[in-house]
Amino acid sequence: MDEGGSLYLSLSLSDIPMTHPIDSARRISRRMKLRGLHVLAVVDQHGSMAQAAKELGMAQPSVSELITGMEAQLGVALLDRSPQGVHTTRYGRALLRRAHVAFDELNQAVMEIQYLSDPSVGEVRFSCPESISASLLPPVIADFAHRHPGIALQVDQGPTLTMNLPELQERRLDFIIARVNKPLDEDRFQADVALELLFNDELVLVAGKASRWARKRKLSLADLADARWIRTSTGSWGDAVIDETFRMAKLPPPRAFLSTLSVNLRNHLLSSGDFVTVVPKSVFALNAARFDLRMLPLRLPRPWPVFLVTLRNRTLSPQATLFLGVLRKHVQPAQVAR
């Protein structure tokens, strides 16, 4: 912190051109201000000095002056300027990668200070697919709200893990709860991502209580070959398991009458018609009574693993840690793979 109260950020020497002596790089790291980094981030977001100045409530010459000053300190161009706008150079991108981490750590520190002064406030943001929000999540959130009523939750919907990873890696999410649609190969994920198995969810065949399938005392896959199937999208875990189950019985996979990822739509159709579908057992358990669903007496191969996904080397806020503590209490010990 300088005499005017401005905060400085220590930069990694690997991001500074090696033409500078080490002592010069140290001097630069001592003088780099977070204010300038924030301005650079907003310019990068808009691709325009004028738009960035408008958002920041600054004069455009002041924005330009701040960035020019950083470029002079570092000895490289952070922006390419043209009549069409500005574009961040590779040096600017390297600087912003580290800046995002620094901003996140500062935000986490502020949240921790707030929590220490008042443990009843704060926010937790995460994402999960609808099949988690329609099964595991409601009782967890109800329990958490009872224990910590002042902490706000924001839950984003994301059908796949890979779609949500950028949000996590850019630190806009605290964590992800995800179903993995393929056998897990941790090498597919970047080294900064940590995976924790929460439980293995069984897949079950489901129909409405009033359907002819639920009334049958004896049922075989051959009986279901011509049923009105509600299937999920091609390539999803549930869709692959249906195909695999019928192939193992030497039967052609059933044709989809409807393809959808919507749990709510499937529940309503099952309760009012002669449909059949495959759902995670956790989804069935939460929705069976409300929608008069019945589990059909046919076993399916392969469980569907549910993972907690976090960033390595990132300290979670106390609020997120509290939520994960409640989440783990609701995971059935018998479901966790040993």
Domain holding 46: CATH number?
1.10.10.10
Q: Say whether both 265 and 328 belong to one domain.
A: no
- Residue 307 in any domain: the answer is no
Residues 263 and 222 in one domain: yes
Residue 331 included in any domain:
yes
Count of all residues that appear for the chain in the document: 338
Instruction: Kindly state whether residue 86 falls inside one of the protein's structural domains.
Output: yes
Are 180 and 233 in a shared domain?
no
Please state the φ and ψ torsions of residue 10, each to the nearest 5 degrees: -80, 125
Estimate the share of the chain in helix, then strand, then coil, as percent rounded to the nearest 5: 50, 20, 30
Q: Are residues 261 and 318 in the same domain?
A: no
CATH of the domain at 163: 3.40.190.10
Coil, helix or strand for 273? coil
What does the block give as tokens for 148? 């910590």
Residues 216 and 183 placed together within one structural domain of the fold? no
* pLDDT tens digits for range 28-61: 555 667 787 888 888 888 888 888 888 888 898 8
Asked, for residue 70, whether it belongs to a domain, the answer is yes
**Which residue range forms the structural domain that includes residue 220?**
203-302
pLDDT score for 109: 77
Q: For the chain, first and last CA: distance in Å?
A: 50
Same domain, 320 and 262: no
CA 281 to CA 167: how far, in whole Å? 28
Q: pLDDT value at position 14?
A: 40
Q: Report if residue 111 sits inside a domain.
A: no
> What is the predicted pLDDT for the residue at 160?
76
- What stretches in the chain show pLDDT beneath 50? 1-23, 183-187, 334-338
**Cα 95 versus chain centre, distance:** 25
Judgement on whether residues 316 and 185 belong to the same structural domain of the protein? yes
CB burial class (10 A; 0-12, 13-18, 19+) of residue 5? exposed
pLDDT given at position 182: 58
- Is position 133 within any domain? yes
Q: List Cα–Cα distances, 177 to 127, 157, 174, 288, 334, in angstroms.
A: 6, 10, 10, 23, 19
Q: With the C-alpha atoms ordered 119, 154, 181, 134, is the resulting torsion angle positive or negative?
A: positive
* Per-residue model confidence (pLDDT) at position 101: 75
For residues 149 and 233, state if they share a domain: no
Number of domains in the chain: 3
Q: Are residues 126 and 217 part of one domain?
A: no
pLDDT of the residue at 190: 61
Same-domain check for residues 52 and 138 = no
In a domain, 63, yes or no: yes
Q: Same domain, yes or no, for 183 and 331? A: yes
Cα torsion 113, 118, 120, 122: sign: negative
Alpha-carbon gap, residue 219 to 323, rounded angstroms: 42
